[in-house]
A and B are shown apart, each in its own frame.
Chain A
Amino acid sequence: MRWLSRLFQRSKQDSHLDSELRFHIEQQTADYIAAGMNPDEARRRALAQFGGLEYIKEETRDARGTQVVDSLLQDVRLGLRMLRQSPGFTSVAVLTLALGIGANTAIFSIVNSALLRPLAYSHPEQLYLVREIVPQFAKFYPTINANLPDFRIWQKQVHSFADVAIAETTSADLTGMGEPESIHGMRVSANVFSLLGVQPAFGRTFFPQEDESGHGRVVVLTDAFWRTRFQGDPFVVGKSIALDGVPHQIVGVLAASFHFPPVPPSMGGAEDYSGLAFFEPLDGPRPYETSLVGEFDFVAIARLKPDTSESQAMADLNVVQAQISKQADDPMPMKGVLLPLEEVIVGPARSGLIFLLAAVGAVLLIVCANLASLLLARVPARMREAAIRTALGATRARIVRHVLTETVLLSLAGGGLGVWIGAFALDWFVHVAPPGIPRLNEVHIDARVLVFALALTVATGILFGVLPAWRVSRSQPADALKSGAWATTESRRTRRLRETLIGFELGLTTLLLILAGLLTASLGRVLAVHAGFDKSNALLASVDLPPQSYDKPADRLRFYNEVLAGARSLPGIRDVGWVSIPPLGGQGSVTGITLPGQQQPHGETPVANYRPVSPDYFAAMGIPLVHGRIFEPADRGRKVVVVSQNVADRFWPGQNPVGKVCLTEWGPPIPAEVIGVVSDIRQVELDKAPLMMVYVPDWFNERSVPTSATIVLRTSSDPAGGAAALRGLIHKVDGQVPITSLQPISQIVSQSVDARRFPMFLAMAFAASSLLLASLGIIGVVGYSVEQRRHELGIRLALGAEFSRLVRMVIRQGMRPVVAGLGAGIMAAVVAGQLMSSLLFGVVPYDPLTLVTVAVVVGMVGLAACYIPARRAMRVDPMVALRHE
């Protein structure tokens, strides 16, 4: 910083330098006088010998090293003056840069928080997700969640683990605080907070003994729930809330910055972590959680000891798993696997986010190319100025620096505005983004984002300035000064450069359009997929029956039946039914299937989703019957099931499955009779293959009247209007039953593809802005070259050339870079399409329809962009054009 203080002490330094030099002259004069010269003569000689005072001062200042900064300041002043002189160009440049840099900053913020920032727990690199491998399910579920008794054994016996904790999502009906509400929470082992290394905002977390039965009637609240339901009451600790009718004491409140590790649903985590309200301790194993080989429901997170490697820990875990296998009532070789927690959380989103970042970066590149092209158009004028400066002694480096200063100034203005825009874009993004982008609730603009934005801004300024700077610095002073006319003509080389830039822009635009097109086509294919159920005109209401009043299956069944009976009398209703978990509602409970008398080897038992339904559910959901019949009142008491087509295909290929007996077993086998086959349905996602389904009637066994279910109403027209009536009906049957969701099926289908629609929408927006920018670039280049050639074109017209032929000629030249860019873009898209094939569904990366559509669109836009300036410029009278010179 010494040079900086020197810079500001400049005037003081200068006066010192002045007196130093004056002293020299005076001494010299004194010496001459002493040698016998008369004073006047002595002074004159001394001055003459000294040489140019100002020149020496300048050289001395140079030697002091502040010169670079001085000339930079000078460049900045000059640059600002140039920018003020052309406000049109300046505002276009600043605005497009601001949008480009803003979009990049916003997307980078998301990438930063999702992919770059370490997880917000202490030493996140030591955290691993523990998954179990049960050979019985391995074919269908390669890894599964953890089981509670296994966890207790790991805690004691896996020595590579510093600690291990488990958690499962849970929900509870909150009563006694206004309208009953089903709130989401997590049931966790007491050590989960200390394992993650987080402290509560106040109060405490759980004590180890609260993992034991009868000691766990305590809750820790999340910050969001505490703020909304308790208005941030600082004395909340010690109060009590009723969860499922049971009072729980509030012992602590978590910090706002705490987020439970968002393990994706595919790895056993929750669909949505944003709405978590509370954490409760294990409170002992539930009666059904005592088997070593059942109820694999928990997300297990282990912290490895600091000096332990992943493979070492995995080996340790598997030794313990082998021992557990031997102790189990049904011995089978169980295994376990460790997955790095960070990878589990951010891995699935990585390719999509990187694609978005690349796409938004491409838009900024196009902005740069456009600005470079605009600046190149101004090169001739700048060349004359540069030539004068060169003639006056400026070096080429100085001229390059001068142009770059100007472009970096532009991009700094754009970048400043861009970060501001980016902050707004980010807010919007976080608001509308679909689930599936990890850690979105942690997104903010931090120091790294700002450094990124600054670096990007400076790089952008240099990038779009370097070509024009290079061209300007090539000016030959003698040529440029010889004739004024020469300097205003664009040289062939500059035009070539501008055409190359246009080709580059078109290439990138084509690439973006094709990729956006592929995403759009994928979304279309997903929505058009044969879902196996009717995707329109149905209203779905999910309810969660409070356990304290619906402990008995008969009570639950009565509730469902009353709701169905009431719903049938609503206007415009065609069919009504209920199901434990509706289509697109996820997997939920599963069951193994075997054939009677046929001993399936371990690990081969196929697993199907187990779905209790009311008989008329199939009609209400629009799931067509393929074979046989559905449940009838006469079946009551009999063990009958309806299976999906893929179950029939797997067990009775080519045969009529109706009447065959199959066993569904989960625990002791239950003999059952298949009475019908219905169409396969997409149970989890539209783009995932249908799963095997076994539908059972409410009388099948003790588990076949679920505690939470979805009421399905098929309507003859748009069902949205029936929502209020259905809500009223449910509350009339029982005002204490919370409705967890109430939506038309069309909306559920639409939300299920949000994770596809959103990137597609962004990619489309980026591609469209690129196309707009690129066409502006074409208009600029063609318009400018027509303007340059008005004289020549005027002569041609005067000599009898047809107007339309001239337009064609101009367009042919203008289209040259467009066609080249289009070709290059298509080739690049085929390669890039392979890279992003994981984001595609049902389309190949070289999808001909997409390629042709994009080629036609780009071609048409290119033609229009060439035609507009060609036509406008040539509407002049040839005489006027000739006289113009």
Chain B
Amino acid sequence: MLGVYVRSLGVTRAMPEAKPEFLKGAVDLLILKVVALGPIHGYAISQRIQQISKDYFQVQQGTLYPALHRLENRGWLGAEWRDTDTGREAKFYSLTRKGRKHLEAEMASWEQMSNAVALILRTAE
């Protein structure tokens, strides 16, 4: 069961044992954070996440595109079709005001959670 989820969430290699819900939130958070830097298309998002995390996260397409469309559907991401530097037309995502608020809230709660987890891990030793 777990395997199915992990495959569909598409975060591979480094975190085979991770919990699904936890990860789903994480992927959304990563995408929002990357898009927050400026309008960007899907391929670039996956590249950027991989680069920034120094190849730790590799968000697969099966996760990325459903997530993008879900976030767009919720009104956190806006999207428009425009030309890239190479003159190809691509769908560029950008953060909406609502999305920015959500990102800030999520980052705060993520920070709290990771602090709490770290605290438990340290003190429980």
Residue positions of A touching B, CB distance < 8 A? 16-17, 19-21, 23-24, 26-28, 30-31, 50-52, 55-56, 59-60, 62-65
Are A21 and B88 within 8 A (Cβ)?
no
5 A-B pairs (CB sep. < 8 Å): A20-B42, A21-B65, A23-B41, A59-B62, A64-B73
Interface pair B91/A20, CB less than 8 Å apart = yes
Q: Which residues of A contact B89 (CB under 8 A)?
A: 19, 23
Which residues of B line the A interface, CB within 8 A? 8, 41-44, 46-47, 60-62, 65-70, 73, 81, 86, 88-91
What residues on B are CB-neighbors of A24 within 8 Å? 42-43, 46, 61
Q: A63-B66, A63-B73, A65-B73 are in contact. Are A20 and B90 (CB under 8 A)?
A: yes
- By secondary structure, the B interface counts as helix
Most chain A beta-carbon contacts within 10 A, residue among B66, B70, B88, B89: B66
CB atoms of A51 and B61 under 8 A apart: yes
- For residue A55, which residues in chain B have a CB less than 8 angstroms away from its CB? 62
CA distance in complex: A831, B65 (Å): 63
Residues of A within 8 A of B70 (CB): 63-64
**Residues of chain B contacted by A23 (CB below 8 angstroms):** 41-43, 88-91
Asked if A50 contacts B61 (CB within 8 A), the reply is yes
Give the docked Cα–Cα distance between A20 and B62 (Å): 13
**Cα distance, A687 to B111, chains bound together (Å):** 83
How many angstroms between the C-alpha atoms of A65 and B8 in the bound complex?
A: 17
Kindly list chain A residues whose C-beta atoms are within 8 Å of the C-beta of B81. Answer: 16
Nearest B residue (CB) for A31: B47
When the two chains form their complex, are residues A59 and B73 in contact, meaning their CB atoms are under 8 A apart? no
Question: A762 to chain B: closest CB distance in Å?
Answer: 53
Q: Given B41, B66, B86, B88, which contacts A62 in the complex, CB threshold below 8 Å?
A: B66
| A20-B65, A23-B91 as given contacts; A59 in contact with B8, CB under 8 Å | yes
Residue contact A56 to B43, C-beta cutoff 8 Å: no
Which A residues lie within 8 Å of B67 (CB)?
63
Known: A26-B88, A59-B8, A65-B73. Is A21-B66 also a contact (CB below 8 A)? no
Q: Report the Cα distance A63→B28, complex, angstroms.
A: 13
Interface pair A16/B65, CB less than 8 Å apart: no
The chain B residue with its CB closest to the CB of A13 is: B69
Pick from A51, A62, A63: contact of B60, CB below 8 A. A51
- Chain B's closest residue to A16 (CB) is B91
> Which chain B residues lie closer than 8 Å to A64 at the CB level?
69-70, 73
Give, as a whole number of angstroms, the nearest-CB distance from A66 to chain B.
10
- CB-defined contacts of B60 to chain A, threshold 8 Å: 51
Residue of B nearest to A52 (CB): B62
> How many whole Å from B4's CB to the nearest CB in chain A?
11
**Pair B43/A59 contact, Cβ less than 8 Å:** no
Question: Which listed residue, B41, B62, B73, touches A56 by the CB 8 Å rule?
Answer: B62
Known: A23-B43, A64-B70, A65-B73. A56 touches B61 (CB 8 A): yes
Please tell me if the beta carbons of A60 and B66 are within 8 angstroms of each other in the complex: yes
Closest CB in chain B relative to A12 CB, distance in Å: 12
9 more contacts with CB within 8 A, not counting A26-B88, A60-B66, A63-B66, are A23-B91, A24-B42, A24-B46, A28-B43, A51-B62, A56-B65, A56-B66, A63-B67, A63-B69
In whole angstroms, how far apart are the Cα atoms of A59 and B91 in the complex?
Answer: 18
* B88 and A60 contact, CB distance less than 8 A: no
B46: chain A residues at CB < 8 Å are: 24
* Chain A residues near B8 (CB-CB < 8 A): 59
Closest A residue, CB atoms, query B10? A51
A27 near B43 with CB under 8 A, answer yes
Chain B positions within 8 Å of A28 at CB level: 43
Chain A residue with minimal CB distance to B41? Answer: A23
Q: How far is the CA of A50 from the CA of B42 in the complex (A)?
A: 13
Q: Which residues of the other chain, A, contact B91 by a CB distance below 8 angstroms? A: 16, 19-20, 23
Cβ–Cβ < 8 Å partners of A26 in chain B = 88
What is the CA–CA distance of A60 and B68 in the complex, to the nearest angstrom? Answer: 8
Bound together, the chains give a CA A55 to CA B60 distance in angstroms of 13
Top 8 closest A-B pairs, CB basis?
Answer: A63-B70, A63-B66, A27-B43, A59-B66, A24-B43, A63-B69, A20-B91, A60-B65
* C-alpha spacing A24/B86, complex, angstroms: 14
Taking the nearest CB of chain B, how far is it from the CB of A307, in angstroms?
Answer: 48
B16 to chain A, nearest CB (A): 18
Chain B's closest residue to A66 (CB) is B73
A55 to B70: give the CA distance in the assembly, Å: 16
Task: Enumerate chain B residues within 8 angstroms of A21, measured Cβ to Cβ.
Answer: 61, 65
CB distance from A60 to the nearest CB of B (A): 5
Give the CA-CA distance A17 to B79 in the complex, in Å.
12
CB distance from A362 to the nearest CB of B (A): 47
Known contacts A16-B91, A23-B90, A51-B62; is A60 also within 8 Å of B43 by CB?
Answer: no
Residues from chain A with Cβ under 8 Å of B44 in the complex = 27
CA A65 to CA B66, docked complex, whole Å: 11
In chain B, what residue has the closest Cβ to A50? B61
Bound CA–CA A28/B50 (angstroms): 13
What distance in Å separates the Cβ of A65 from its nearest Cβ neighbour in chain B? Answer: 6
CB of B24, distance to nearest CB on chain A (Å)? 11
Could you tell me the distance between the alpha carbons of A252 and B88 in the complex, rounded to whole angstroms? 80
Q: Which of B60, B61, B89 has the most CB of A within 10 A?
A: B61
Least distance between B11 CB and chain A CB atoms (Å) = 14
Report how far A63 CA is from B68 CA in the complex, Å. Answer: 9
Q: Kindly list chain B residues whose C-beta atoms are within 8 Å of the C-beta of A65.
A: 73
B41 to A: closest C-beta gap in Å: 7
- Docked pose: A52 CA to B62 CA in angstroms: 8
Taking the closest CB of chain B, its distance from the CB of A46, in whole angstroms, is 10
Task: Report B46 CB to chain A, min CB distance, Å.
Answer: 8
- A23 to B66 Cα, complex, angstroms: 16
Minimum distance in angstroms from B56 CB to a CB of chain A = 18
The distance from the CB of B67 to the nearest CB of chain A, in whole angstroms, is 7
Please name all residues of chain A whose beta carbon is closer than 8 Å to the beta carbon of B66 when the two chains form the complex.
56, 59-60, 62-63
| Least CB distance, B27 to chain A, in whole angstroms | 12
Residues of chain B lying within 8 A (CB to CB) of residue A30: 86
Q: How far is the CA of A16 from the CA of B92 in the complex (A)?
A: 12
Chain B residues near A59 (CB-CB < 8 A): 8, 62, 65-66
Q: How far is the CA of A21 from the CA of B61 in the complex (A)?
A: 9
Can you name the residue of chain A whose Cβ is closest to the Cβ of B46?
Answer: A24
In the assembled complex, the Cα of A17 lies from the Cα of B42 at a distance in Å of 11
For B62, the chain A residues whose CB sits under 8 A away are 51-52, 55-56, 59
Alpha-carbon distance A51/B60, docked complex (angstroms)? 9
In the bound complex, CA of A457 to CA of B75 (Å): 37
